[in-house]
A = this chain, B = another copy of it.
Amino acid sequence: MARRNIFRMRIAFSDCDPAQIVYFANYFRWFDTSSHEFFTACGMPSWRETLATRGAIGTPLVDVGAKFMNSATYGEDIEIESSVVEWKTKSFVIRHVARRGETVLAEGREVRVLAIRDPENTLRIKATPIPEDFRALCE
């Protein structure tokens, strides 16, 4: 069974919109944070370190999706469960489930690549094959 990580947080007033519920785009932010927490829990070095040792600057998203099942509001405690559900040569897929108790609030799916700074244009970035040791840590 795949490694998984649980990221716990409390919804803030500033996370909610005039409809008094979580502004949906915050779930993408939290899914991303949960991915970072997942990597850390797996023992991955920081991007600052991988940048120095391998030129890798992070795992930017190339395709992202989410379904929103139930709304939530400020003051509520939620948790996000994250795990890698698919590995390809240059990309991998992380699945997230956000829950308040037993209630599923949202499900997300991130397709990520491992990126290095584009040597031809340092304002841009490009994908690089995922090293075996990176995958081994997160599986």
| Cβ-neighbour of A124 out of B62, B70, B115, B125 (below 8 A) | B70
Q: Range of interface residues on chain A?
A: 35 or more
Chain B residues with Cβ below 8 Å from A36 are: 12-13, 74-75
Q: Please tell me which stretch of A25-33, A79-87, A89-97, A131-139 contacts chain B, meaning at least 4 of its Cβ atoms lie within 8 angstroms of it.
A: A25-33
Total identical chains:
4
Q: Chain A at the B interface: mostly helix, strand, loop or mixed?
A: mixed
Of A19, A46, A73, the most chain B CB neighbours within 10 A belong to A19
A32 in contact with B24 given A65-B63, A70-B124 (CB within 8 Å): yes
CB-defined contacts of A3 to chain B, threshold 8 Å: none
A16 at the B interface (CB under 8 A): yes
Contacts of A57 in B (CB 8 A): 19
Q: Provide the A83-124 mask, 1 if CB < 8 A to any CB of B, else 0.
A: 000000000000000000000000000000001000000011
Knowing A25-B28, A32-B25, A64-B24 are in contact, say whether A14-B17 is a contact too (CB < 8 A).
Answer: yes
A residues contacting B by CB (< 8 A) are 12-14, 16-21, 23-26, 28-29, 32-33, 36, 40, 46-48, 57-58, 60-68, 70-71, 73-75, 115, 123-125
Enumerate 15 A-B pairs (CB-CB under 8 Å) in ascending A order.
Answer: A12-B29, A14-B29, A14-B32, A17-B18, A18-B20, A18-B47, A21-B60, A24-B61, A24-B64, A62-B67, A63-B66, A63-B68, A64-B68, A65-B65, A71-B123
